Amino acid sequence: MADVTLRHVYKVYDGGVRAVNDFDLEIKDKEFVVFVGPSGCGKSTTLRMIAGLEEITAGQLYIDGQLMNEVEPKNRDIAMVFQSYALYPHMTVYDNMAFGLKLRHTPKEEIDRRVRAAAEILEISELLTRKPKALSGGQRQRVALGRTIVRDPKVFLLDEPLSNLDAKLRVSMRSEITKLHEKLETTFIYVTHDQTEAMTMGNRIVVMKDGFIQQADTPITLFEDPCNLFVATFLGSPQMNIIDAELFMDGKQLKAKLNGLDNMVVTFPDIKAKQLANKKYIGQKVLLGIRPEHVRPNEGDLKAFIEVVEHLGDESILYCKMENRKDPFIIKIPFNSKIHANEEINVAFNMDHIYMFDADTHKAIMGIPHEDKIPVRINNNLMQVGEQDIVLEKDFVDHLLDSAFNADIKLAIKPDYITLNKPESEEEKAIALKGKLEFIEQKTDYQAVYFSLAGLEGYFAIKIANGEKVALGKEVELYLPYQRVKLYDEKHNKVNSREIIHPNKGVCTVKTINGMMKINVGGATLTYPNSENYADGRYEITFKQDKLVPIFSKKMLKNNKALTNPEMEAPNKIKVSAYDEDVLGDKLLIYVQIPGFEHYASLVVPNNFSVYKMPKFEMYVPSDAFELKAIK
């Protein structure tokens, strides 16, 4: 057993580079997971945090259910293989492989047994007496793998292990490593920037960009249902063709005028048209995507002028010039030696495989959504979803920010997390929504099932296993686990938190002098005009969640107009220490200890600093940031 779980992991480097944000992933025992993305997207940083070579700024890392954040790398029972294999040149292959075990004082016979077993697995038994300089690049990389195999780790971490090898060797080592994974039956986490490597090796692929996970799915699902334009164009070779288009209705049929392709018109099949995320896109500009293999030559009436042909053995790739289009339009067909450059052909799209993206956000807007999103309103412990009123239990309500209540908010959840069966254990509480099953689309790895919710437009989609039976037109309960539900306000700031939100309540004393009042709280004395005529005495003080202002630099003081008003110049500040933060969007939720308060306070502040860089700081307390209630 060796599952690896990352819970909302962040890495902020010294200097403030946010290299990894909210990395949330469960890697199952024996899984082969690949992190892929362009250079600088945070793959290595994440891997190094798992290895313990890099401190985790925030969030939790579990290996086999045990919290690992503070555990030394050597005690994590993991092995890491790097791109530079750094073998000891003066040692034989045998000694290179045995070295680590010798350091650990493993008995000699045991070392011998393990080295020979590993050499057998890697098919390098006949090389054991050689020195590294007498090995090829591929053999050296195998020895480097051997060095880690002998340690019998629970988890293998591989950081671009093949990037120093030539192209041909890389291809053969790919399958070697896949085979090795099957033989060892251990969890593998593999980092690469090469999409082909990722697609051919991983059971599951985590596509990253700018420090954020874009999508984590099986290769087939990533290919069939990319969640955005980035994933769609990053995976697949040659790349998906992207076309500017405009949607319109022709009677009952959804059609698109291809502005980017000679204004040709295409018609969506019914099953696709129904999957349009939002009717607001009709009449609007969108981006259509069609993979080169889903374009049919010698059909339809779209004219393509072939500029270049690449015959690649089993397939031919055509690079075409099209009217109104700058980029070449790429077509992939089974090998056909009769097709030549400088010819014009007619092509048609296989519309069962069309993709659609929002022209601005680049999110996929047709097909199973990356996240289902529905408007909701919460009042006390009641959540209104269309025509349904849902009672929320204390567990859920305790994680809501003040701004979640009585406001138009959005509930978001990944379709993968929604189930048709009520969770069995008490801990897995879930929101139960009633939905009517409208239609199903069969995918390679799963069935996409689309529901309508009474009183709401659009659809609510879930994924269920192939073979699971469901009945069309029936109303059923859908279960949304509390832990997986995210709530957002109109500005896309999250309004539910990881930690429980306690009321920001403490005790203070008030002393009045000449129309002013002095409040003693949190080890500070705050002075305000006594406009409410409070009497001397003890009060319960409640700080409002979003009114305190953290002071974290002189520049910030200067730039913040609110702080330069005369009242704010008064020394009305409290020293606090923070113990965690939760990025909400352009706001940050910080959990701070105010001296004398029983629980931590939860405060919403701008997202332009991090408490991890500044765990102790001062907070300005404007006069509208608190309420007082006399204690009798």
Say which residues have a Cβ less than 8 Å from residue 632's Cβ, sequence separation at least 6: none
| Closer residue to ligand ADP, CB minimum distance, 189 or 594 | 189
Q: Is 43 helix (H, G, I), strand (E, B) or coil?
A: helix
Beta pairing, strands 409-413 & 372-379: antiparallel
Cβ neighbours, 10 Å, residue 82:
17
* Span near ligand ADP by CB under 6 A; candidates 21-29, 43-51, 423-431, 587-595: 43-51
Cβ-contact 243, 290 below 8 angstroms: yes
The distance of closest approach from Cβ of residue 203 to ligand ADP in the complex, given in angstroms and rounded to an integer, is: 20
* Span near ligand ADP by CB under 6 A; candidates 15-23, 91-99, 242-250, 564-572: 15-23
Cβ-contact 153, 114 below 8 angstroms: no
* Span near ligand ADP by CB under 6 A; candidates 32-40, 82-90, 181-189, 492-500: 32-40
Cβ-contact 555, 608 below 8 angstroms: no
| Closer residue to ligand ADP, CB minimum distance, 45 or 241 | 45
| Closer residue to ligand ADP, CB minimum distance, 43 or 181 | 43
| Closer residue to ligand ADP, CB minimum distance, 41 or 448 | 41
| Closer residue to ligand ADP, CB minimum distance, 15 or 89 | 15
Count residues binding ligand ADP (CB under 6 A).
Answer: 12
By C-alpha distance, which of 306, 317, 312 is closest to 346? 306
For residue 41, state whether it binds ligand ADP (rule: CB under 6 A). Answer: yes
| Closer residue to ligand ADP, CB minimum distance, 45 or 403 | 45
How far apart are the C-alpha atoms of 320 and 330, rounded to whole Å?
A: 6
For residue 53, state whether it binds ligand ADP (rule: CB under 6 A). Answer: no
| Closer residue to ligand ADP, CB minimum distance, 10 or 450 | 10
The residue within the footprint of ligand ADP, chosen from 31, 33, 43, 50 (CB under 6 A), is 43
The residue within the footprint of ligand ADP, chosen from 19, 149, 216, 437 (CB under 6 A), is 19
The distance of closest approach from Cβ of residue 617 to ligand ADP in the complex, given in angstroms and rounded to an integer, is: 23
For residue 514, state whether it binds ligand ADP (rule: CB under 6 A). Answer: no
How far apart are the C-alpha atoms of 527 and 538, rounded to whole Å?
A: 16
* Span near ligand ADP by CB under 6 A; candidates 34-42, 114-122, 149-157, 560-568: 34-42
The residue within the footprint of ligand ADP, chosen from 22, 31, 42, 264 (CB under 6 A), is 42
The distance of closest approach from Cβ of residue 12 to ligand ADP in the complex, given in angstroms and rounded to an integer, is: 9
For residue 44, state whether it binds ligand ADP (rule: CB under 6 A). Answer: yes
What separation in angstroms does the CA of 136 have from each of 83, 85, 130, 150, 218? 15, 12, 11, 21, 33
DSSP class of 351: G
CA Rg, the chain, in Å?
30
* Span near ligand ADP by CB under 6 A; candidates 37-45, 61-69, 381-389, 461-469: 37-45
The distance of closest approach from Cβ of residue 193 to ligand ADP in the complex, given in angstroms and rounded to an integer, is: 7
Query: Which residue's structure tokens are 């016979």?
Result: 109
| Closer residue to ligand ADP, CB minimum distance, 54 or 176 | 54
For residue 21, state whether it binds ligand ADP (rule: CB under 6 A). Answer: no
What separation in angstroms does the CA of 108 have from each of 91, 123, 294, 308? 17, 22, 59, 62
For residue 40, state whether it binds ligand ADP (rule: CB under 6 A). Answer: yes
Give the burial class of 328: count Cβ atoms within 10 A of its Cβ; 0-12 exposed, 13-18 middle, 19 or more buried: middle
For residue 613, state whether it binds ligand ADP (rule: CB under 6 A). Answer: no
For residue 52, state whether it binds ligand ADP (rule: CB under 6 A). Answer: no
For residue 39, state whether it binds ligand ADP (rule: CB under 6 A). Answer: yes
Q: Is 471 helix (H, G, I), strand (E, B) or coil?
A: coil
The residue within the footprint of ligand ADP, chosen from 17, 391, 472, 513 (CB under 6 A), is 17
| Closer residue to ligand ADP, CB minimum distance, 41 or 258 | 41
The distance of closest approach from Cβ of residue 38 to ligand ADP in the complex, given in angstroms and rounded to an integer, is: 7
How far apart are the C-alpha atoms of 515 and 532, rounded to whole Å?
A: 10
* CB under 8 A, 24+ apart: contacts of 594-597: 594/504, 594/506, 594/521, 594/522, 594/543, 595/522, 595/523, 596/506, 596/507, 596/521, 596/522, 596/523, 597/504, 597/505, 597/506, 597/522
How far apart are the C-alpha atoms of 174 and 445, rounded to whole Å?
A: 24
* Span near ligand ADP by CB under 6 A; candidates 36-44, 77-85, 286-294, 622-630: 36-44
How far apart are the C-alpha atoms of 405 and 501, rounded to whole Å?
A: 14
The distance of closest approach from Cβ of residue 176 to ligand ADP in the complex, given in angstroms and rounded to an integer, is: 23
How far apart are the C-alpha atoms of 250 and 268, rounded to whole Å?
A: 11
Longest dimension (CA), the chain: 98
* Span near ligand ADP by CB under 6 A; candidates 13-21, 133-141, 233-241, 614-622: 13-21
| Closer residue to ligand ADP, CB minimum distance, 43 or 573 | 43
For residue 13, state whether it binds ligand ADP (rule: CB under 6 A). Answer: yes
Cβ-contact 606, 515 below 8 angstroms: no
Footprint on this chain of ligand ADP (rule: CB under 6 A): 13, 15, 17, 19, 37, 39-45
